[in-house]
Amino acid sequence: MKVIITDDEIQIRKGLRMKVNWEEEGFQIAGEASNGVEALELLRMMDIDVVITDMRMPMMDGIELAKCCQKEFPNVKVVVLSGYSDFEYVRGSLKEGVKDYLLKPVAPDELVEVLSKIRKEVEAEKLINAESSRLRRLVHSQLQEVQEQYLLYLVKEEWLELKMVTERLCQLQLAELINETTEVQFVTVEIREGSDNPNRLKELWLPFQLLCKEIAKGHPKTYSFYDPSYANMIHFLQILEMDKRDRPLRLVKEIQQTVKKLLKLETVVGIGNVTSGMTNFKTGYISSLLAWSQSQLGSKSQVLDGSNVQEEVFEFSPEIERKLTNGIESVNYEAFKENIYVLLEGNRHLSIMSFTFAANRVLFLLGSLGKKYNMETNDFQKVMWNCQQSIWELNSQSKVIEHLLQLAKLIIEKVHVARYSNGKLIVASVQQYLNQHYASEISLSMLSDLFHINSAHLSETFKNTVGQNFSDYLVQLRLEKARQFLKDKQLKIIDVANLTGFSNSGYFSTVFKKYFGQTPVEFRNSLDS
């Protein structure tokens, strides 16, 4: 790191050079200045990290220099040297861009302490800035973002029609996931930090996400995604090949080494069971979370491989899912409760692992229904988290069931309110559903089945509430999404058409021009002008 020493007395500058071994402390004295004006000239010519300046100097003093640095070079750290008479003034100037201060005569150990503190801070800031700027430099693919969102949908939410899912996977260039014989494995990675700085994980979350995306790109047929339900975690889905079954371990090794080297963070990794077929994605995802949940507390890096567990896992059939969903949608708490007890308590031969799998599948189902009815509030998330904690801890089966029933009751109450809100809450839920599934073949009859409401009534209520009919609203929504995709130059016009639910690029261009007065090509070209 480069330092400028600024003082109007040459002997003081020489003395500071001799007080510490600058190179040993990680610094290089890049220049000297006799006042603030000269120091600013050097700052404009060189890439400087730290300025050590005297308080009192001709032409421009240390405080004025600090103010100028704060405006022109906000990343430069300014340390002011002062006498006892200036002490209170300098201390008050910490808000003016002064990072720290030292009393004259400067003691070597105090100088070393300040330099050490600044070095750690500058290194952390440089890392964060470098990763953030790299993220900005990379063209973040709109396609990649939607792929990640859809992967989360596949592993967490209620599927209405398998046909819609397969069509969407083809649109998102994820057709390889459709094959029922394709084997996949989920990997869950959590970052942990051992220092006493609670904000450090938050500061390094963006660089961690970026690293995970870049690492995934380097591993063929590997996708990363983020689940808001689990803090400080990124999840990976890897498509396996028969001759490369060690790929997850190679992925894990690279993640742990890279995160440790660049971010100085520890990682706790859960490797899930190998599964095949989209209908088993939820089970595979839960198995990686279950493996992670067996980790020890603390900041030590760990790898927990649950893929070697051969214990039979309880089957969560579509029939069970349908019964539980109908209990919620029909506002029948007793029916839901009865099915939960049959599922989780009626079978006394359930192992702990099987019970945990089944309980998590119920939790995912309830989370999906809560999202469908716009229940993603802090209070709802808190109940979800408490429920999740009780599943991981598994101190008591009855406690887990109690939490699940509490969550179900909240959702049923919201569904009941939605049914008697003159349709406004139902319409809001329909709009949210459309925002997520706009590219699929969606009809009013399908939505009426999904939200348990008469299609003619839904059509009339939608128009009265939104101000336009359902089909016009959907087309407009698709076109707005298309404008976002068009900003990504990596996507062809036909790709954008497919991603937004239009059958061909010609029809897409016609409708786009009708709404916006420009063809998709003209709109894209206008972005550069």
In a 13 Å sphere around the CA of 142, the CA atoms on its Cβ side amount to: 17
pLDDT at 306: 81
- Total-model pTM: 0.66
* Cα 311 to Cα 288: distance, rounded to the nearest angstrom: 15
Do residues 148 and 82 both lie within one domain? no
Do residues 205 and 324 both lie within one domain? no
Q: CB under 8 Å to 72, separation ≥6 — which residues?
A: 40, 43
pLDDT in tens, 288-343: 998 998 888 888 999 999 876 555 556 677 788 889 999 999 999 999 999 999 88
* CATH value at residue 303: 3.30.70.270
Domain annotation covers residue 437: no
Domain annotation covers residue 445: no
Q: Which residue from 487, 472, 227 is spatially nearest to 371, judged by alpha carbons?
A: 227
Tally of domains within the chain: 4
Q: CB under 8 Å to 202, separation ≥6 — which residues?
A: none
pLDDT in tens, 208-239: 998 999 899 889 899 999 998 888 999 999 99
* Cα 507 to Cα 491: distance, rounded to the nearest angstrom: 18
Residues of the chain with pLDDT under 70: 84-97, 130-141, 160, 196, 198, 243-245, 308-315, 347-350, 394, 529
Do residues 291 and 330 both lie within one domain? no
Do residues 23 and 146 both lie within one domain? no
Domain boundary among 136, 164, 198: 136
Domain boundary among 89, 104, 136: 136
pLDDT at 139: 41
Domain annotation covers residue 149: yes
Domain boundary among 115, 136, 157: 136
Do residues 46 and 108 both lie within one domain? yes
Do residues 284 and 151 both lie within one domain? yes
* Cα 455 to Cα 461: distance, rounded to the nearest angstrom: 10
pLDDT at 519: 94
Do residues 125 and 157 both lie within one domain? no
Domain annotation covers residue 516: yes
* Cα 242 to Cα 208: distance, rounded to the nearest angstrom: 30
pLDDT at 251: 94
pLDDT at 135: 52
**What residues make up the domain containing 500?**
468-526
Domain annotation covers residue 327: yes
pLDDT at 313: 54
Q: Which residue from 122, 102, 112 is spatially nearest to 47, judged by alpha carbons?
A: 122
Domain annotation covers residue 237: yes
Q: Are 1 and 28 in contact (CB under 8 A)?
A: yes
Do residues 9 and 130 both lie within one domain? yes
pLDDT at 199: 81
495: buried, middle or exposed (CB in 10 Å: 19+, 13-18, 0-12)? middle
Do residues 238 and 327 both lie within one domain? no
Rounded to 5°, the CA angle 340-344-345 comes to 100
Can you read off the two tokens belonging to residue 82? 């002062």
Do residues 346 and 296 both lie within one domain? no
* CATH value at residue 43: 3.40.50.2300
* Cα 142 to Cα 475: distance, rounded to the nearest angstrom: 20
* CATH value at residue 506: 1.10.10.60
Q: CB under 8 Å to 152, separation ≥6 — which residues?
A: 225, 226, 227
Domain annotation covers residue 431: no
Do residues 175 and 157 both lie within one domain? yes
Domain annotation covers residue 442: no
Do residues 125 and 224 both lie within one domain? no
